[in-house]
Structures are given as structure tokens and as C-alpha cells.
Amino acid sequence: MMKQNRVALIVIAAALGMAMAPSAMAAPKDFCKNYARLAVGQSTVMQGQNRGCTGFRWHNWYDGHYQWCRNVSKESAWAEYRVRRHAIFNNGPC
């Protein structure tokens, strides 16, 4: 019975560790506030170019961009910013 208790504790500890990992890797609040502001600005620029870009990348909802950023790493948020920037300045795909 003791072995089963130890195994159960190990499983619970591992599950808790996995649940906590994404929040530990999430981008910081101040970074995400800036990211969301820039994302909305980029979306506005693209809409001004009438290129028909839609979807999660090209909406003007600040809170949506902010919450997404808070659930990913800083590196992932920067990568998304760069994709939008490339599309704007190089006439890349939406």
C-alpha cells in the first residue's frame, strides 16, 4: 500500500508541475500590454491597406491579443509580431 501512495504522490506532483509550467513560461504582463498595443496597430495598418486580412492575427481586439500573449512564451509572441510586420512591409501573405 505504501508503494501505491508514493506512486500516486509522484503522479500528482508531475501533473501539478505540468499545469504550472505554461504560466511560468508565459510572457510578462508589461511585455504583453505592449505586444497587444502593437498587434492592434499592425492590424489597423493592414486594414488600411485593404488587403482583406482576417482571423486571429489581424483583429483589433486588444484583450484578445493580450490574453494570447499571456499564454505563450515571449519568443512566440515576438515571432507572431515579426510575421505581421513582414506581411505589412513586404506584401507577404496574411
The three-state (H, E, C) secondary structure of the chain, written as one string: CHHHHHHHHHHHHHHHHHHHHHHHHCCCHHHHHHHHHHHHHHHHHHHHCCCCCCCHHHCCCHHHHHHHHHCCCHHHHHHHHHHHHHHHHCCCCC
| Cα gap 31→36, rounded to integer Å | 9
pTM above 0.85, yes or no: no
Chain segment 56-74, per-residue pLDDT in tens: 999 999 999 999 999 999 9
The reported pLDDT for the residue numbered 9 is: 46
How large is the average pLDDT for residues 2-18? Answer: 49
Question: Where along the chain do its domains lie?
Answer: 26-89
Q: Which of the pair, 11 or 41, is modelled with greater confidence?
A: 41
The reported pLDDT for the residue numbered 35 is: 98
Chain segment 12-40, per-residue pLDDT in tens: 545 444 444 445 578 999 999 999 999 99
